Structure 1
């Protein structure tokens, strides 16, 4: 028997996929109607969280944050089976994941933090990426079951909380990447460039393909051999901001980057490769 706590878009689709694979799943959500809706798919819904985990050898969790996870698990614990395993897919702080692992172990339970890079459709189709770290024996035992939930499980080693940190780092990139797209669209709007033309450009030129090489370049600490000088990149950045300002189109990310470029130029790095702006992050 499996219990699943948190019936948002991700959790509910995880449950639907489990049921299709023949699993018996008991579900709970703070808003009972969301759990009740899954009874049409074959789940058994509970309004009381402690009742929802009774008889379950493993309890999956997809909630909001550290505080919510702590609150819900504390309330559910009255119904835990001896030796139950808690697998938490919530995006939380690394510190919270470490502390929960320690606290639940002291109480006789296994807690494994397994955040994911996947959307609701991935959860339904059992595709995507799941991250784990910590006790390798626990991971070896549960990795086959976790692999059924997702396309790939990445093990980041023995350090508790590393998976949580990797999830946060990945989310930071997604947020900055999306903000960059928003600024790109804003500049295109200012220059009267239709989205279709952007699609034509990026269908041919895929800057994302260069991400691994760019990461290595920034992290190398070697910026003297420039492929794009910081002074020139800053000049282009000024053109972006000028065009947007003239059109009354706001840019969210580029002005902050321009300030960082100016800081490094003032320190004498203008003729270095522009990736020098990442120097403090790796030194």
Structure 2
């Protein structure tokens, strides 16, 4: 039997998917009405978290942060079945994941951090990606359970906390990409280009496809053979900023990038590939 703690959009759809498979799932949420909404799908709800986990072999969590995970697990602990396994899908710090793994092992329980790159619909249809790292024996035992929840289970090796760190790395990229899209639309508006036309451009031209080769070039430190010189990229950034300023539009990322470009040009890297601005981060 399973328990699932945290009935946000992700957790509730994970539970719906489990119920559709005919699994018995106990659910709990701090706001009980969110848990109660899962009863029509076959889940059994509880107002006290310790009752929800009682007799559960597997306890899944999707909560807010480190503090919430620690608080809920401590409250739930009196109901833990001997040898219960805790699988935490919450996005947390790497340090928190490492500490919880050690702490709950001492208490006689298995804790595995398994964060996800999955939205609510991914949780419902078992697509997307889930990350794990740490004790390979534990991961081996739980791989079937976890693989059934996601389209791809990515095992990052034996290092505790690496899954948590990689989740944050991925989320940083998503935040940066979204801010970049916002700047793109802001510039387009400045130039009287409809958002629909920008969407059509990216439907025909996908710069994201170049991400692996761009990352490879950066990590190899190959800046002396430019495909786009830093001086030229900085010139283009200036045109973007000027166009937006004239139209009264705000750019979030580009002014900050331009400032870093200026620093690297002052160091004498104007003729290098513009990705040299990432050199110190390799």
| TM-score where L is the length of structure 2 | 0.99
Match of 1:162 in 2: 162
**Partner secondary structure for residue 37 of structure 2:** helix
Match of 2:256 in 1: 256
State how far apart, in whole Å, the 1-side matches of 2:105 and 2:268 are.
53
Q: CA deviation at 1:200?
A: 2.1
Q: CA deviation at 1:131?
A: 0.3
Match of 2:17 in 1: 17
| TM-score where L is the length of structure 1 | 0.99
Match of 2:273 in 1: 273
State how far apart, in whole Å, the 1-side matches of 2:71 and 2:145 are.
26
Between stretches 53-62 and 194-203, larger displacement belongs to 194-203
State how far apart, in whole Å, the 1-side matches of 2:108 and 2:64 are.
25
**Cα deviation 1:243-264 (Å, max 9, x = unaligned):** 0000000001101000000010
State how far apart, in whole Å, the 2-side matches of 1:145 and 1:90 are.
17
State how far apart, in whole Å, the 1-side matches of 2:105 and 2:279 are.
40
Summarize the alignment of residues 125-136 of structure 1 with structure 2, pairs less than 5 Å apart.
Answer: 125-136=125-136
State how far apart, in whole Å, the 2-side matches of 1:102 and 1:273 are.
45
Summarize the alignment of residues 106-255 of structure 1 with structure 2, pairs less than 5 Å apart.
Answer: 106-255=106-255
State how far apart, in whole Å, the 2-side matches of 1:71 and 1:252 are.
36
Q: Pairwise CA RMSD of aligned residues?
A: 0.5
Q: CA deviation at 1:13?
A: 0.3
State how far apart, in whole Å, the 2-side matches of 1:77 and 1:270 are.
59
State how far apart, in whole Å, the 2-side matches of 1:43 and 1:197 are.
46
State how far apart, in whole Å, the 1-side matches of 2:202 and 2:275 are.
22
**Partner secondary structure for residue 149 of structure 1:** coil
**Cα deviation 1:169-205 (Å, max 9, x = unaligned):** 0000000000000000000000000112112211211
Match of 1:77 in 2: 77
Q: CA deviation at 1:219?
A: 1.2
Moved over 3 A (4+): none
Match of 1:2 in 2: 2
State how far apart, in whole Å, the 1-side matches of 2:95 and 2:126 are.
28
**Partner secondary structure for residue 221 of structure 1:** coil
Q: CA deviation at 1:218?
A: 1.2
State how far apart, in whole Å, the 1-side matches of 2:269 and 2:105 are.
51
Q: CA deviation at 1:39?
A: 0.6
Instruction: Give 5+ residue unaligned stretches, structure 2.
Output: none
**Partner secondary structure for residue 181 of structure 1:** helix
Instruction: Give 5+ residue unaligned stretches, structure 1.
Output: none
